[in-house]
Amino acid sequence: MKAVIIGATGATGKEVLKELLADKRITAVIALVRREINNNHSKLTVIKVDFENLQNYESHLHADIAFSCLGTTLKDAGSKEAQWIVDHDYQLHFAALCKSADVKHFVLLSALGASKDAYFFYSRMKGTLEDHVSALNFPQLTIIQPGMITRPNSTRKLEQITGKILQGVNKIGLLSGYRAITTHQLAKEIVKAGFVANNTGIRRLAGQDLFNGAV
């Protein structure tokens, strides 16, 4: 089985890539990246691309499963408009090209609370993307909606503080849907979801679903 992925250099995406390369069911992985990956795994083909002209790489998208893990922060992007281009436009273009390449199962990393009608920009952006990718009518579409994502040994103070608060709150059963999940745990569930047969077309795994075996 062949997989294609974007976002493989990000915090979650690099963990997804590790899981794909370790899975015996996957025979080949194509990673479309903006910067080089130092990985010489025999199953991996790394292609450095220009996401503004992703259509030039459509011949590399013929795969059984596609994983879309691309994303940036508002701080790194510099503006809401620039973040929208990366998180929405690039991923939607990738999805559309995957559909044209006859990819059967598309797995999209989104966020808990995503909605096109959301008050907050980030949730509204993610919700709009979900709707637009859904409209492409993949035979199978799995949308992953984690709550707080934490990285081992993260140096981001806000991430450390928020993660500890949510862990404490979850112990008493409140806000369980926003339970913090590590990038490693999340990657395992993302890849696992890619192998689940889905006869309903669109499947969402949100928050607590990623912990209770729903995948």
Q: Which tokens go with 150? A: 């934490």
| Catalytic residue from among 14, 126, 178, 188 | 126
Q: Catalytic: 178?
A: no
Has 157 been annotated as catalytic? no
* Per-position DSSP letters for 20-48, written without gaps between them: HHH-TT--EEEEEESS------TTEEEEE
In the 8-state DSSP scheme, what is residue 86? I
Out of 43, 57, 116, 122, the active site residue is: 122
CA atoms within a 13 Å half-sphere pointing along the CA-CB vector of 26: 27
Give the C-alpha distances (Å, rounded to integers) separating 67 from 61, 89, 112, 113, 173. 11, 16, 18, 20, 32
Query: What whole-number distance in Å separates Cα of residue 196 and Cα of residue 105?
Result: 10
User: Which positions are catalytic?
Assistant: 122, 126
